[in-house]
Structures are given as structure tokens and as C-alpha cells.
Structure 1
């Protein structure tokens, strides 16, 4: 529990310092919801990208779809410029505002690249959505350490 609490605090510090239009802002933290802090962020009207595309499939133009893709790419570019790897980028972690613009969310696997002299490591097994995990992370044996890099987000 103490290890998880430290990890949550570290992730909140990472998220809290990120300021960009394509990154879901962290407004604050509440601690009255159990053992872990609750993250407070704005409500994103259209929800996750996956559901948004299903609901809007017939009404989205190629330009609208490219705009969403561009927002995701800008968000990743910003994260990587701040030495942050998202680590779990899926349609469920891309949220769509009421104006149709996308932002990246759920930094539960994010990590600071420079933390371990240029490379971040996760011990144990692959976390996040295995369907979308970078192929190179699947080639690591259970005894080895996983090395996340900006390329894993791509």
C-alpha cells in the first residue's frame, strides 16, 4: 500500500506539471475518498475517443478525423518534450471535448524518462492494455526489466 501510495503521488506530480491544450489538466487532488488520492480534472463532454467515434462515425469528415489524430500527435510530442512517456495510449485514454478537440488522459503508466539515467524501467509484467502495447515490450522475459521509451507510445 505504501509503495502504491508513493507511485500515485509521483504520478500526480508528473501530471500536475503538464500544461498543454492536448493534455487533460489536473485541477487538484482530494484525499477523502479512501486510501488513495482522488484526481480532480474537468469533465470532458464527449467522453473517450472509442465511444465518440462509434457515435459520430457517419458525421465525422476526414478533416475532423485528421484533427483528432493531430491532437493526439501534439499531445505525445508535448509529453515527450517533457521527458514523459504515456505508456498506455489507447482510445480509452484519449478524451474528446465538446468542441471536438482531443486530449490525452490517464497517466497511470506514465513515467519520467530521465529518472534512471535516460531509461525508465518497470519491473514485473506488462501493465496497461496488452492489445495496444508496443511489440518490443512483449519480447522481454519475466526476469528482465521493461524499458519504456517514447517509441513505445508510437
Structure 2
């Protein structure tokens, strides 16, 4: 996907920040609520935490905004029913640094969505959600884009035409976090969704390993497992223990630990195609999507 000469739309003066304080907090960012005045559209405004502390002069602020534009312009070009639209960037006196504007999803991220107790679990078609994630990621890969940080927290849920629909979000976040001085580097963070090739390299080269389609495929398999079973990969371990098991013990999720798995063995076969230690042996997303559609 060609992005040269393309800029993320600026929404300065068009977005009203509703509250003084963030309504949600992630590991790296604070989320503010806003409204696009001329559309009367409610939006979420993501601001990387403490970025303003490293950009205290007008020149550094301009450099930071330029970095965001560079890393997020690919996301702004993506158009798919399972990809959250990126609407633009804003600077506003109510937020500490440049904000990333996207539609606000009523049901939050995928993990929070399943944790809610306001509806019976059987009302949600978990396989359909997995297929939606696969469809969005296959589209992303077809356009030669890599997500780089696919987890349950970076997939949002919205009710669209009566159907709970997954929306991939946060493209470009990892690259911004790798820029020294902006915020905590992903080089120092590990989580249970990461493939072994990312976990076993030094921090300096971690982002290079993260930004491959094969790494996305590994992460998709982990998202698929948690979505279908309601249990995270390597449940019973903390993040560091799970990452160590993958990186140095070559462990993969054990089917025997999920006796109540709601689908037949085909889904396990699909997930195993995602978890080859050798990235070159992992299936492409377009093929995985075909396999999943055959399970319906």
C-alpha cells in the first residue's frame, strides 16, 4: 500500500473534547471522549501517556506530531468492515499532546467484552467473531500491511446491524512506542500473545521481528484460542512466565487443558497452523480465513 505523500487528516477545530479527564486508561495511553461537531459523532481520542513530557518545546511537539502522522497514515487508508476507521489527529488544549481520533466503540475491547456479565454467553457467536478478526487481518495482509501488536486489547467490539462485530485497531502503535523518548518502549514489555522470534531477540531488534505477517499469524492463533474458550493462552501463568515458556521451552497451548472446547478438532488444527516455531511454516491469513469459513 503506497503511502508517500499521504497525510492523516487533521481534525483541529472540529472535535470537542467532552471531559477534562480520560475515561479509560491502557498500558501506554489515556483515552478521552470527544464529539466531531459537524457530524455529531462520538469519538475516542487516544493520547500516548507522558509523550508531552518529552516534547516540551514547539519544535519537539512538531516532531512528535510528524512521527504520529508517519506511523498512522497506513491505518488511515484501510477500509474494511473489520478494521476500525482512523478518523484523524488533533491537538486540543484539553489533552496533553497530539491525539489519535477513532470512533468510540460501545463495548470496549474483546477481553472486556467477554468479561461483561450483562448478557448470557450463548448470545455471542464466538466463532463468528474469530472469523471477523481473520477477515480483517487477511485484508490488512493483502494490502502488505502488518499490525505488529495483535492482542485481545487491540480488537474492539461494536454492535453493527444487530451483530457484535470485531474491529482491528491500534495499527502503528508499536512503531511509535519504539521511538526513544516518547513513552515506554515495547522492547521492555512481554506478553503471552508474542511469538518466540520476538521474545528471544534483544530489545534493539524486537520491533523488526514484530513487524512481520508471520508474527501477526501467531498472535491471531492466540486471540482465536482465547475468544473460543474464554481462557487466555497459558492461563495459570503470569505474562512473564507465559513468555518464558514460549521463548525458551518452546511450549504451545495444550489442547488437553481445554476439555470444554466448544468446537471440533478442526479449530485446533487451524490454531496449530499459526504456532509453528519457524515463522516460514505458518499459514497465510487468506488460507486460515478459508479454513474458518469451512467450519461454519
**TM-score with structure 1 setting the length:** 0.77
Q: Of 108, 113, 135, which aligns to 1:74?
A: 135
Distance 2:134 2:188 in 1: 22
Shift in CA distance, 140/60, structure 1 to aligned 2, threshold 3 Å: same
Give the match for residue 104 of structure 1. Answer: 168
**TM-score with structure 2 setting the length:** 0.43
After TM superposition, the structure 1 stretch with the greater mean CA deviation from structure 2, 125-134 or 98-107, is 125-134
Shift in CA distance, 110/14, structure 1 to aligned 2, threshold 3 Å: farther
Say whether 1:15 aligns with 2:97: no
Name the SS for the 2:103 alignment partner. Answer: coil
Distance 2:83 2:117 in 1: 22
* Pairwise CA RMSD: 3.0
Say whether 1:44 aligns with 2:105: yes
Distance 1:85 1:139 in 2: 20
Name the SS for the 2:148 alignment partner. Answer: coil
The answer (yes or no) to whether the contact 1:88–1:129 under 8 Å persists in 2 is no
Name the SS for the 2:187 alignment partner. Answer: coil
User: How far apart are residue 142 of structure 1 and its match?
Assistant: 4.2
Larger-Rg structure: 2
Shift in CA distance, 153/59, structure 1 to aligned 2, threshold 3 Å: same
Distance 1:75 1:127 in 2: 28
Distance 1:100 1:144 in 2: 37
Larger RCO (CA within 8 A; separation ≥ 6): 1
Structure 1 gaps of 5+ residues are: 112-120
User: How far apart are residue 56 of structure 1 and its match?
Assistant: 5.4
Distance 2:82 2:158 in 1: 10
User: What are the residue-to-residue correspondences of 1:54-133 with 2, within 5 Å?
Assistant: 54-55=115-116, 59-61=120-122, 64-98=125-159, 99-107=163-171, 108-109=173-174, 126=187, 130-133=191-194
Distance 1:4 1:79 in 2: 26
